[in-house]
Amino acid sequence: MKEYKVYTSSANLSKINKKNISHLRKNNERISFYTDEKSLKKLLEELEDIEYYNVIHKKVRYILRKHLITIISLFIIVILLINQSISVREIRFINYNTYNEDVEEFLMQKLKKRGPFYYLNDDLNDINHELKTIFYQYEWISVKKNGAYLEVDIKKLDKFDEPDADDGTPGDYFASKDAIIKLYHVKKGVVLIRESQSVSKGDLLITGNLKYWIDGEEYIRPKGIVIGEVLEYQEVKVKKKKELEMKTGKIESKNVISLFGYQFKRSPSFQNYEEKEKVKFNLSNVITFKKMYFYQKDIITITYTKEEAIAYAKSLIEKDFNPGLHEEIKFIELLETIEDKEYYHFRFIVKKYENIAQFVPRA
């Protein structure tokens, strides 16, 4: 490859014969041509009047000078993208109502801080193995990295599928609310309902009397769920302006030693905080090594607009529902708003699929 451009006196024309050159040009008393590294070395030994440069290097320098800002910008973007793919900005629980503070704290211990960024200090496969070992009460638990987020996937063991804890008390299931039956799942007992049937509060749904249909008696404790479509009114009062003490997201950890019950406590850099501890080593309560975690707290003032207050009121209804197997809120619709100086008063109609089967022991 002829990557060098050479300039020399035209008097040296005879000396470049039999050399690997191309694009020979003459300009007044100077000639120029392209050659490779091997031929250039020979010419440098034979000629005194010679100038040359590497064509590729010159082009690269030209491109760098012309597009320096663009190249630097692209480099920064690439670095940011790489950092985003390996850093952790937030821990997310991706399934509804599966947040677990102990799981979050466990994952926080698997992060190391470098400047404003957090990075995993352990292999993700090892972390998943530890999660499954420590939090064995879940049917499934795992964590994966999605961009800058650690996403925690938890599947709780359905209470209906847990081993029976039958105390032997016989009885029946009655409707706790007016509803339309959407589905039922019965493991033990005699079913007295059908789908799409309307029931009123207090109606018998499932009986533990195995001889119910022949007017006899042989009672057991039944087990089942009955999901009904329930429509009910709910009223929520929201204060327009309130102060809350909340965690700011800042966390500090410190190692603490305790001798004979006396703890050499080290305080965090902030004044208002919530603390938690984990014992790392304990020698007969004589000497104890602990890891202290300090969560900064601060007072914040929240002022709700009407729209924000409606959204907050709906979230309170959802939070209070705590759904189980096959249970869900179908919709929450605002019917009425009354506003005074300090509060918003909302009246909603809520449609839910809810387990209405209430166990009543046999008298």
Q: Which amino acid is at 184?
A: Y
- Confidence band (pLDDT; 50, 70, 90) for 292? confident
Q: What percent of the chain has pLDDT over 70?
A: 92
Is residue 170 within 8 Å of 148, Cβ to Cβ? no
**pLDDT, mean of residues 332-358:** 94
Closest CA to 355 of 226, 216, 186, 253: 226
N-terminal to C-terminal alpha carbon distance within the chain: 101
What is d(CA 125, CA 144) in angstroms, rounded to the nearest whole number?
9
Other residues' Cβ atoms within 10 Å of the Cβ of residue 207:
22
Residues 6+ apart with CB under 8 A from 293: 105, 108, 251, 252, 253, 275, 276, 277, 278
What is d(CA 347, CA 237) in angstroms, rounded to the nearest whole number?
9
Res 166: pLDDT: 61
Best-predicted range by mean pLDDT among 16-30, 69-83, 155-169, 225-239? 225-239
Res 353: pLDDT: 94
- Confidence band (pLDDT; 50, 70, 90) for 86? confident
> Alpha carbon of 308 to those of 34, 311, 313, 314, 345: distances in Å?
74, 5, 9, 10, 13
pLDDT tens for each residue of 111-161? 888 777 788 888 888 888 888 888 877 778 888 888 778 888 887 765 555
Res 92: pLDDT: 87
pLDDT tens for each residue of 215-252? 899 999 998 899 999 999 999 999 988 877 777 778 88
Res 297: pLDDT: 82
What is d(CA 277, CA 256) in angstroms, rounded to the nearest whole number?
9
Is residue 269 within 8 Å of 252, Cβ to Cβ? yes
**pLDDT, mean of residues 23-31:** 81
Structure tokens given for 18: 């039999």
Helix, strand, or coil (residue 41): helix
pLDDT at residue 66 tops 80: no
Res 163: pLDDT: 52
- Confidence band (pLDDT; 50, 70, 90) for 354? very high
What is d(CA 179, CA 229) in angstroms, rounded to the nearest whole number?
5
- Assign 3-class secondary structure to 274-343: EEEEEEEEEECCCEEEEEEEEEEEEEEEEECCHHHHHHHHHHHHHHHHCCCCCCEEEEEEEEEEEECCCE
Res 176: pLDDT: 96
Res 211: pLDDT: 92
**pLDDT, mean of residues 52-63:** 81
